[in-house]
Amino acid sequence: MSLLSVRDLTLSINGTSILRDVAFEMREGDVFGLVGESGSGKSMTALSVMQLLPSGAQVSGHTALAGRDLLALSEADMCEIRGGEIGMIFQEPMTALNPVQTIGDQVAETLMVHGVADRAEALRVARDRLDRVGLTADRFKLDRYPHELSGGQRQRVCIAMAVALRPRLLIADEPTTALDVTTQAQILDLLRGLVADEGMGLLLITHDLAVVSGLADHVAVMKDGAIVEAGRTESLFRTRAHPYTQALFAASSHAPVRPPRAAAAAPVLEVRDVVRAYPLSRTGFFQRPPPLRAVDGVNLIVGEGESVGLVGESGCGKSTLTRAILGLESLQGGEIRLGGAPVVAGRVPAALRRRMQVVFQDPFGSFNPRHRVARLITEPFHLAEGAVPEREEAIDQALLDVGLNPDDKHKYIHEFSGGQRQRIAIARALILRPDLIVLDEAVSALDVRVRAQILDLLSDLQERYGLSYLFISHDLSVVRVVTDRVYVMKAGKIVEDGPTEAVFERPDHPYTRALIAAAPRIPEAWQGDRKFGT
Amino acid sequence: MLRYAATRLGSLVLSLWVASIVIFFTLEIVPGDPATFMLGLEASPESVDALRRELGLDEAPITRYLSWVTGMLIGDFGTSYTYRVPVGELIAARITVSLPLTLYAMALAAVIALPVGMIAAARRGTLADVAIMGVTQVGIALPNFWFAMLLVFFFAIGLGWFSAGGFPGWEAGLGAGLKALTLPALALGLTQAAIMSRVMRSSMLETLGQDYIRTARAKGLSHAQVTRRHAMRNALIPVMTIVGLQFSFLLANAIIIENVFFLPGLGRLIFQGITQRDLVVVESTVMLLVFTAITVNFLVDLAYAAIDPRLRRRG
Amino acid sequence: MRLPVSIWIGAALTTIFVIGALVSLVWTPFDVTDLDIQARMAPPGGAHLLGTDHLGRDILSMVMVGARTSIAVAIVAVVVGMVVGVPLGLHAAANRGGLIDDIIMRGNDLVLAFPPLVVAILITAVYGPSALNAILAIALINIPVFARVTRGGALSLWTLDYILAARVAGKGKIRISAEHILPNIANLLIVQGTISFSLGIIAEAGLSYVGLGAQPPVPSWGRMLAESQTLISLAPHMAVIPGLAIVFMVLGLNLMGDGLRDVLDPRLRRDR
């Protein structure tokens, strides 16, 4: 018998249609992947099963857990099901725990609200479950508070909470999206182990095909509130019957065509022995810890027309280094040169500053919402000091360059989608024809298909204008396909660098090896079967 | 926790110190000589001289500031020029009215506002919510001294349930004292309750929208359980700020309300001090008000840390 | 965009009082210094629309002129608070952790301890009571309030990428504050402005009630109430009318402020 059976599930919220006739079957002890891009309705499907939908939701159809129709149950019965029969974990572990309650109490609460244990017994079970998810008693006492834990550790607490009563089904909604790649690998391992040990079904919701390929037995692909294709993971990935699946697949491993590069070009950007240290606040009345060296003796070079990658996990210092390169952070040691001229925070002459521009990650926070596109992309113009006589032509050209229409210059930023905003951000960076563009996680927030288009655009612009890119990202798969050389950063230091292919093929440093091993991949063998599509 | 308390204590002392400077030197810039100012222009040169000596005006301002501050530290607030008694005694007598009044009002406000705010949040968008929000909107717009006059008109003059003013003293018994303070405390507290219940409501709504509430629901807690076990404690954190803020305003407004009800509290003392130009009384009473307000905010900060474990580690 | 009803009600109430105050500059039904002894404590209706007080003065005229006093005091206090507080807040946010920033945060603690009433007491003890005292006392508390609101709003903007982009484009802190920060916190300031305005009206009434505000013969709502207090059982209208004037004025401003916040705050808009 199937564990979870969803039929004709239709949902609208305040009149907007969200889900249309969603149907799938999940077997006992199965790992079922639900993949799709943002807004495809995959999270809402899970919340419909849990009946935790936002107010204003209108839902119809059938969601049956082991033959019991959940949609027909009363709220009191659903409270029994939630946490008892179905556990759920969410994307953002940093905010998913009550900040004023200890982790022990929060795990024990699952048992206590279901009336299966008194407080002492519940705490004992909580201890046991926390041990099971890898938070052992010696380091993670029950009276720790969430703010004392890292993101990965908090996600483990959430998992312990969700599986405290050994539910038959665990729903994991993008459980590793907010985590670093090595942490992601550990959490996925943990989930895999729990499923095997406890015979629990896992409904894994994710945008990442590679994560699904490594974990799920069955998979369903969602688009615009409906399932377009479903089947066994391997055969679905190998055949890719539906055009949308093909497009997703192609985009996720998309490698833009890049121009061949002459070796040994002159350097555009030189970072030499750079140190950026912050004083820490005092720990006692008299002692102050030594300053935190966020960037600790970093050397990095970007040559003319070259694409250089800088990878590392959150907190490794790559953002600080980025700001230092952009002349926004003062240095405690070393120097940064752009085209031979020193970059000193607060004293970068306009003529130098215009040679370097930046594109940020967040396509929503990157623009002043009160300005029109024309004004947004001409922000760097005051650096030109009258050297851009044909303002209107420059705007039109920049918009055309990034694949937008010159008429778009009269619009406001909220009229554009995420991908279009990123194009506008590139237009702003491009308009003064800089030598170097720093791409700070520039494609990380985009869906795979949009990401592929932006990567093509960047590659095209590089060829046309001879740009150099410094590509900063936590996403190894992207860095691998778009850079010539790569630097790997950890705890403020560069631990390894070299030609991208060489580093990825034969990583030297244990950390690089760990990073590459942790990154989920779709098995090579599944990819060869179909080569058409885009 | 200890380090947090120590840092807050340091900031408390700093605030008090700056406040004492502000108060002392504001009164120091009295046009002309304070002794002449206090006695009036027609006073004889001899009595002015006598007062100058008594106030120690022949010494440098900095010396007088130091002796004022060190005096207060050991409970010596100087001698009132008009009453001819130590200011400390005057204040001690008056504060037994003002402080209970403020606390009474505060308690009334909290007892009314917290449940009302929670009910409004729980029934968001219903008629009950709209009605509560409407009433609180009016409550905020009510000047409390006018509200006090209306209370007197209805409950003292009209219904005769309370006396229109005056205070029998605590010697008359706790019940009689509290009864005399009931109308004033209502006048003070109800308008504060309006603000507090709005804060409680929005804080509750904000908390109910947090991710961890959804997590708790996914564990199988019912809406009522989530509200009781998770939302309430977190929602109280911003409300605490308001309580701290409101205390100093309540204490100040108590001065006005005392005027409406002819209560022998600090308010009356200050206004008599002003009319009689008794700067010693004004200076010390204001310092006491400021001291109380700052101390209450310090206590609120500590209470914060007790509720919110994230604060305990921070400096 | 459709505006919420509360804005319209609030704006209507506020407008009535503003018009009344403006008209009182050129015309009032009676001169507020006219003592009509025959018609002392006349109830509303008749020749005196809202009745007369214990000296036979026309209450409607006094309410109109009182509105002028209230509004003038509150507006000046808000403007002073903004003109001084906003640049301070912008500066503090642009130089986070700097000296001005520290002073504002400490100063904020201090102001908690000095409500307008206490400030007014201090000033009055020295200079004697006047409307100027009231303005000064209320303005003084508005400065840190606006500085804090500005700082808070600006700090969250400074972390946004478009500010970083402007810095990469080589713009200085002052220019960024003027070009990007100020326009984007204007909504916060408008809302705070309405709230401070209404608090100013209440504070002014309180101060003149205890005799620390505008002095006779300038009519003010607070003093009208003070004068009516002992006569409340003889002539309730003397106490009710100025009180209602305060309530409606403040209610109008608060409704407008809340409505504006709903419309202007994008965070709230998304919620609905």
Residue A81's pLDDT band (boundaries 50, 70, 90)? Answer: very high
Nearest to C86 by CA among C149, C1, C23: C149
Distance between first and last Cα of chain A: 39
Cβ contacts (< 8 Å) between C126 and chain B: which residues? 26-27, 29-31
Give all strands of the β-sheet with A86-89 in edge-to-edge order: A86-89, A169-173, A201-206, A31-35, A218-223, A226-232
Amino acid making up residue C238: M
A183-to-A190, A373, B2 alpha-carbon distances in Å: 11, 39, 34
Residue A98: list chain B partners with CB under 8 A: 212, 215-216, 230, 234
Instruction: Decide if A362 touches C, using CB distance below 8 A.
Output: yes
Q: C104 and C152 in contact (C-beta within 8 Å)? A: no
Q: Does C160 touch chain A (CB under 8 A)?
A: yes
Percent composition of chain C: helix, strand, coil (DSSP 3-state, to 5)? 75, 0, 25
Instruction: Tell me the average pLDDT of chain A.
Output: 89
- The reply to whether residue C250 touches residue B141, judged by beta carbons under 8 angstroms, is yes
- The chain-wide mean pLDDT, for chain C, equals 82
Nearest to B234 among A76, A100, A109 (CB): A100
- Mean pLDDT score, B183-192: 90
- If you ran DSSP here, which 8-state letter would residue A331 be given? -
Q: Which of A432-436, B267-271, C144-148, C157-161 has the highest mean pLDDT?
A: A432-436
Percent of chain C residues past pLDDT 90, beyond the cut: 10
| HSE of A219, CA atoms in CB hemisphere, 13 A | 23
**Could you report the per-residue pLDDT of C37-81, keeping only the tens digit for each?**
777 777 777 777 777 777 777 878 888 888 888 898 899 999 999
> B263: closest CA among B86, B109, B96?
B96
Residue A92 at interface with chain C, using a CB cutoff of 8 Å: no
Alpha-carbon gap, residue A513 to A510, rounded angstroms: 5
Residues of B in Cβ contact (< 8 Å) with C113: 15, 19, 248, 290, 293-294, 297
Secondary structure of residue B55 in the 3-state scheme: helix
Q: Do B211 and A113 touch (CB under 8 A)?
A: no
C170: nearest CB among A367, A383, A428: A383
Which of C164, C166, C184 is opposite residue A370, by nearest beta carbon?
A: C184
Q: How confident is the model at residue B169 (pLDDT cuts 50, 70, 90)?
A: confident
Neighbours of chain C (3+ CB pairs under 8 A): A, B
**pLDDT tens profile B263-314:** 888 888 888 888 777 778 888 888 888 888 888 888 888 888 788 887 765 4
pLDDT at B77 over 70: yes
Q: Compute the nearest-CA separation of B24 from chain C (Å).
A: 10
Least confident of A403-412, A464-473, B85-94, B162-171: B162-171
Higher pLDDT, B111 or C267: B111
Q: What is the mean predicted confidence (pLDDT) over A9-17?
A: 91
Of residues C170 and A50, the one with the higher pLDDT is A50
| pLDDT at position A516 over 80 | yes
pLDDT score recorded for residue A264: 65
Residue A286's pLDDT band (boundaries 50, 70, 90)? low
What does the pLDDT average to over A24-47? Answer: 91
pLDDT at residue A142, as a whole number: 92
Judged by a CB distance cut-off of 8 A, whether residue A14 touches chain B is no
Check CB contact of B53 with chain A, cutoff 8 Å. Answer: no
- Are the beta carbons of B218 and A92 separated by less than 8 Å? no
Percent of chain A at pLDDT > 70 equals: 95
CB-CB under 8 Å, B273 with C125:
yes
Instruction: With 0.80 as the threshold, say if the pTM is over it.
Output: yes
Residue B315's pLDDT is 36
Output the CA–CA distances (angstroms, integers) from residue A128 to A10, A134, A149, B220, C20, in the order listed.
40, 10, 18, 20, 73
Residue B212 touches partner A, C-beta closer than 8 Å: yes
Rounded Cα distance, C71 and C15, in Å = 12
For residue C169, the distance in angstroms to the closest alpha carbon of chain B comes to 36
- Residue A262 pLDDT class (50, 70, 90 cuts): low
A355 touches chain C (CB under 8 A): no
B277 at interface of A, judged by CB pairs closer than 8 A? no
- Name the residue among C161, C167, C171 with its Cβ closest to that of A362: C161
Answer yes or no: do C126 and B29 touch at CB < 8 A: yes
pLDDT tens readout for residues B226-259: 988 899 888 888 888 778 777 878 888 888 888 8
Write down the pLDDT at residue A459: 92
Query: Chain B within 8 Å of A147 (Cβ-Cβ)?
Result: yes
How many Å lie between the alpha carbon of A381 and the closest alpha carbon of chain C?
8
Closest CA to A470 of A460, A481, A482, A461: A482
Tell me the per-residue pLDDT of A214-257, one tens digit each, with 9 for 90 and over: 899 999 999 999 999 999 999 998 888 899 999 988 888 888 88
Q: How far is CA A38 from CA A44, A188, A359, A421, in A?
A: 11, 21, 22, 16
Nearest chain B residue to C112 by CA distance is B245
List all chains that touch chain A, counting a touch as 3 or more CB pairs closer than 8 Å.
B, C
Residue A283: band (very low, low, confident or very high) from pLDDT cuts 50, 70, 90: low
**Model confidence at C145, in pLDDT bands (50, 70, 90)?**
confident
Verify whether the Cβ–Cβ distance B219 to A90 is below 8 Å.
no
Residue A1 has pLDDT above 70, yes or no: no
Q: Would you say residue A40 has pLDDT above 80?
A: yes
At A533 the pLDDT is: 38
Kindly tell me the number of DSSP H helices and DSSP E strands found in chain C: 11, 0
The number of residues in chain A equals 534
pLDDT digits (tens, 9 = 90+) for C189-218: 988 898 889 888 988 888 888 888 888 778
SS (HEC) of A114-180: CCCCCHHHHHHHHHHHHHHCCCCCCCCCCCCCHHHCCHHHHHHHHHHHHCCCCCCEEEEECCCCCCC
Q: What is the pLDDT of residues A138-190, one digit of tens each?
A: 889 999 999 889 889 999 999 999 999 999 999 999 999 888 888 999 999 99
Whether B137 sits inside 8 A of C255 (CB atoms) is yes
Query: Which of C167, C168, C177, C187 would you mutate first to test chain A, the one with the most A CBs within 10 A?
Result: C168
Residue from C102, C162, C163 whose CB has the most chain A CBs within 10 Å, to mutate: C162
Residue of C nearest to B248 (CA): C113
Question: Taking CB atoms and an 8 Å limit, are B217 and A82 in contact across chains?
Answer: yes
Distance from CA of A278 to the nearest CA of C (A): 13
Output the pLDDT for position B306: 80
Please tell me the distance from the alpha carbon of residue B24 to that of residue B66, in angstroms, as a whole number.
10
| Lowest-confidence pick of A125-134, A394-403, B80-89 | B80-89
pLDDT range class, residue A523, cuts 50, 70, 90: confident
Q: Which helix (H) or strand (E) holds B116?
A: helix B87-122
Distance of CA A488 to the CA centre of its chain: 18
Of C209, C251, C255, the CB nearest to B256: C209
Spell out the residues 6+ positions from residue C240 whose beta carbon is closer than 8 angstroms to its own: none
- Residues from chain C that touch A369, judged by Cβ atoms under 8 A, are 184
Cβ of C229 within 8 Å of Cβ of B149? The answer is yes
Average pLDDT along chain B: 84
A368 pLDDT more than 90: no
Cβ contact (<8 Å) for C166 and A379? yes
> Does A97 lie at the interface with B, CB-CB under 8 angstroms?
yes
pLDDT in the model for residue A467: 92
Interchain pair A90, B3: CB under 8 A: no
Lowest mean pLDDT among A81-95, A312-326, B40-54: B40-54
Do residue C168 and residue A356 have CB atoms under 8 angstroms apart? yes
* Cis ω before C115 (30° cut-off from 0): no
User: What pLDDT sits at residue C267?
Assistant: 47
